[in-house]
Chains A and B, each alone.
Chain A
Amino acid sequence: MGVHENTYDSSLGAYLLLLPTLAAIIAFLYYPSLQTLRFSFFQTFLFGQNTRFVGLTNFTDLLGSQVYLTSVGLTMAFAVIVVIGSLAVGLLVAFLLYEVSDGKAAYLIAAIWPYALPTAVAGTVLLFLAHPSVGIYTHYLEAWFGIELDWFTVGWQGFAVVTVAAIWKQVGYNVIFMLAALNNVPESLNEACRLDGIETWRRLVRVYLPLMSPTLVFLVVINTIYAFFGSFALIDLMTQGGPTNATNLMIYQLYRDAFQFNNLGLASAQSVILFVLVAGLTFVQLRVSDRYAHY
């Protein structure tokens, strides 16, 4: 299969070269992942000092818990909004970048820098700027629209602020990949569109989007994983899961059960559920795309 694979012919040499990577993935990835599965069948008590085999009790407890089910629902809603929001904004910006003829390099950097934005910085900055009492955004939103905002106590507002922060942080990444996909559109096709007088938005929807579909599928998968796992810092710094659990994403619930309440078995069961959910969603997304995406 490989093009250069007969350059060296010592199997031992190959295994030696692979040794550091294999040792690291076994020690830090596969072994702890399997351990997670094992832990999920145990209950820990006395601050983790003692364990007892409980079979599927952790899972049945979770699936019977209103708090946990709410957290699953919230996380799904959060993921859908973050994926759609960051892809939509990313697409708009990428398309504008693709169309612009002057100053492209400067605009590009100005548009993709959030790729370097640490989640903790995004969370801290928005915590202050949208702060219910001292935040400038809140101040003007209230002044202009005559509304009363307090996302420290109103659930949906807390959820909205965290969602905006998550989208803000993710746009840069999406712009990079979408622009790369747009740049691969054959120039001849562009000319054909121009000659046929196809208007801009129709060109984006009818011509570019189908051609970008492999990239879009990739981005949906990556953004879903980001929404499930990457937003922890936002929650921890901005809302701690509140107000009244309105931003209690699954990853935050897991953290609390593991490292604040020492329920290691219950937390491991949540890790397993997260893995199954994300793996399942990835699989479905790839299957759906097989049917509809133009590769």
Chain B
Amino acid sequence: MSLDTNDIATDVRERGPLSAIADTQVLPAQWRVHLGLITSVLVMASPLLLAFVMSTQTVPEVYDITDISVGTDGLANYAEVFTRYGMASYMFNSLVMSIVVTVAKIAVSLLAAVALVFYDFRFKNAIFFLILFTLMFPVPVRIVPLYEMMAALGWTNTLLALTGPYVASATAVFLLRQHFMSIPDSLVESAKVDGVGPLRFLWKVLIPMSRGMISGLSVITFIYAWNQYLWPLIVVSDQSKQVVQVGMKYLQSVGNAGQTDWGLIMAGAVLTLLPPLLALIVFRGPLLETFGLSE
């Protein structure tokens, strides 16, 4: 009995797409998918895994290049980088900066989004466009006058200079506006009938309804603020006020007798990565949803 391809096709159509024949024929065998994923995941993670291993090694162990066993230094590098090389203060400064930027950006953008969605006023489209168009002006495009402005205001080395330029956000206003527009009419109507003012409406109705979007935006903003490098490098010159990204640059010069203490530097790198990585892992649900991807 011969079974040509037409027969199989007919057979599949009759039995539905999940038939075993269709799967083996067309789907890539799952083991190949797993192999591909494991390989790419390992390639992407390997620098960090190695950095972590090396961060537990003493200087001689690090300089024994092929030694990738967990070192005998344990967490001593971490303790040292924290207490002797200013890591504690860098991380604290970064944390303050990131939290202030996140809270301020979300608060300010919520107000703007309420105005853009629940009000009708002159120049509304022009103002919305003006906000969106700021996407074309990243820090490097305005860095010289921005720095001059901070110097003139006496803001250099302060939290104001670190956070001020990050408060306005085209992305946050845009996403919150989209989100508010999708709220059902009935809810908005009842607020109108009850004569609830805009701020109360925002606090009592909109924010509770937008928890997912707000947490997603918060994680995005926190990671973005934590990872800033160029602007803090320029506007902060006092090491005790510096953020952790630029602290990495200071760490590079740590060493004895011409031997850079790479174990210590890797400990610093791992610590610098931890907060945004934890934020991503803990809040992956709302984060992915904000990007239009649910698990």
Contact = CB atoms under 8 A, between A and B. Distances in A.
Given A21-B111, A128-B54, A255-B230, A100 B198 contact: no
Contacts of A129: 47, 50-51
A225 B138 contact: yes
B92 interface: no
A195 B33 CA distance: 20
Interface in A220-250: 225, 229, 232-233, 236-237
**In this complex, which of A10, A11, A92 has the most chain B Cβ atoms within 10 angstroms of its Cβ?**
A11
Given A99-B28, A109-B284, A194-B26, A259 B37 contact: no
B108 A8 contact: no
B96 interface: no
A237 B248 contact: yes
Give me the 10 closest cross-chain CB pairs, A-B, nearest first.
A35-B145, A24-B168, A32-B142, A14-B119, A17-B115, A116-B276, A180-B293, A233-B229, A32-B145, A11-B121
Contact of A13 (B119, B141, B164): B119
B238 interface: no
30 contacts: A5-B118, A18-B127, A20-B108, A20-B111, A27-B164, A33-B137, A33-B145, A92-B36, A93-B40, A96-B36, A99-B33, A109-B281, A110-B44, A115-B280, A116-B273, A120-B245, A125-B48, A125-B266, A136-B68, A171-B44, A180-B292, A180-B293, A194-B27, A195-B22, A200-B26, A225-B138, A232-B229, A258-B143, A267-B143, A268-B144
Interface stretch (B59-67, B77-85, B207-215): B59-67
Interface string A130-171: 010011100100000000000000000000000000001001
B140 A5 contact: no
Interface in B144-163: 144-149
A183 interface: yes
Contacts of A295: none
**In this complex, which of A2, A33, A119, A121 has the most chain B Cβ atoms within 10 angstroms of its Cβ?**
A121
Contacts of B109: 21
Nearest to B136: A279
A97 B37 contact: yes
Interface residues of B, number: 107
B56 to A, nearest CB: 14
B68 A191 contact: no
Contacts of B140: 229, 232, 251, 254, 271, 274
Interface of B: 5, 9, 12-13, 17, 22, 25-28, 30, 33-34, 36-37, 40-41, 44-45, 47-48, 50-51, 54, 62-63, 65-66, 68, 108-109, 111-112, 114-122, 124-125, 127, 130-131, 134, 136-149, 164-165, 167-168, 173, 180-181, 183, 185, 188, 191-192, 198, 223, 226-227, 229-230, 233-234, 245-246, 248-249, 251-252, 260, 262, 265-266, 268-269, 272-273, 276-277, 279-281, 284, 288, 291-293, 295
A116 to B, nearest CB: 4
Contact of A36 (B50, B142, B181, B280): B142
A232 B13 CA distance: 56
A24 B108 contact: yes
A14 B66 contact: no
A124 interface: yes
A236 B249 contact: yes
B142 A139 contact: no
B119 A100 contact: no
Q: Tell me whether chain B's interface is mostly helix, strand or loop, or mixed.
A: helix
B119 A9 contact: yes
A262 to B, nearest CB: 10
A212 interface: no
Contacts of A102: 30, 34
A136 B50 contact: yes
A175 B288 CA distance: 11
Nearest to B226: A118
